[in-house]
Structure 1
Amino acid sequence: MSTESHSHFSPSVHSHPHHHSEESLRAIVNRLSRIEGHVRGIKTMVQDSRPCPEVLIQIAAVRGALDRVARLILDEHLDECVTRAAQEGRIDQELAELKAALDHFLG
């Protein structure tokens, strides 16, 4: 992980409210809850001195699950926020914010 002083939990810089559909929000929160449980399971594996290869396999599974959640969020953002920004004449600002977020994500 980078030692840069970027906060991953900083408030959104969006100048407009961001809304997920009820169904999308529920799906994302459910996936994150499963990931949270999976991470707790990995912590238990480490505490129980399980073999490192088993732990690494589970960490890879969590990474994959997080990537799938990120993809859901990105897809929805492209479908909703970027489209709305284009309609409202704010596409340059929206794309700049998205690029900055992707720099952190891919970082």
Structure 2
Amino acid sequence: MGPLDGGTSTKPHIHASHPALIARLKRADGHLRAVIAMIEDGKPCLQIAQQMQAVEKAITNAKRALIHDHMDQCLGAEDPAADLSELRMIARYL
């Protein structure tokens, strides 16, 4: 099993972009918590839906950034056939 199919690696897989990605996701997490509070407080559905859309977009953009970074940093010319297979697997999440 490899990193894309749920397996574990013996070494950490960290990119220079990961701290910024973590910060993005923490902001999205805070925003989601605020949406939950809006629901608990009985805020209007339109406002809640708008904020949920913003959370969804933030997470989608973070996922896209992660995948693009992976494509830039992890796919090389060492094994083109393996790279193509991995690209096809990760592209499913775009």
> How does the TM-score come out when normalised to structure 2?
0.77
Equivalenced residue count is: 90
Q: In 1, distance between residues paired with 2:84 and 2:13? A: 15
1:35–1:66 Cα contact (<8 Å) kept: yes
1:11 and 2:6 correspond: yes
RMSD (CA atoms): 2.5
Among 69, 72, 82, the residue aligned to 1:93: 82
Q: What is the percentage of aligned positions where both structures have the same residue?
A: 33
Structure 1: tracts of 5 or more residues without a match: 1-9
> How does the TM-score come out when normalised to structure 1?
0.69
Deviation at 1:28, TM superposition (A): 0.5
Aligned in 2, Cα 1:44/1:13: closer, same or farther, shift over 3 Å? same
Q: Which residue of 2 aligns with 1:44?
A: 37
Aligned in 2, Cα 1:72/1:12: closer, same or farther, shift over 3 Å? farther
1:35–1:62 Cα contact (<8 Å) kept: yes
Structure 2: tracts of 5 or more residues without a match: none
Q: Alpha-carbon deviations, 1:53-106, whole Å to 9, x = none?
A: 1111001101111122112112211111112xx2x2x23223323323332x25
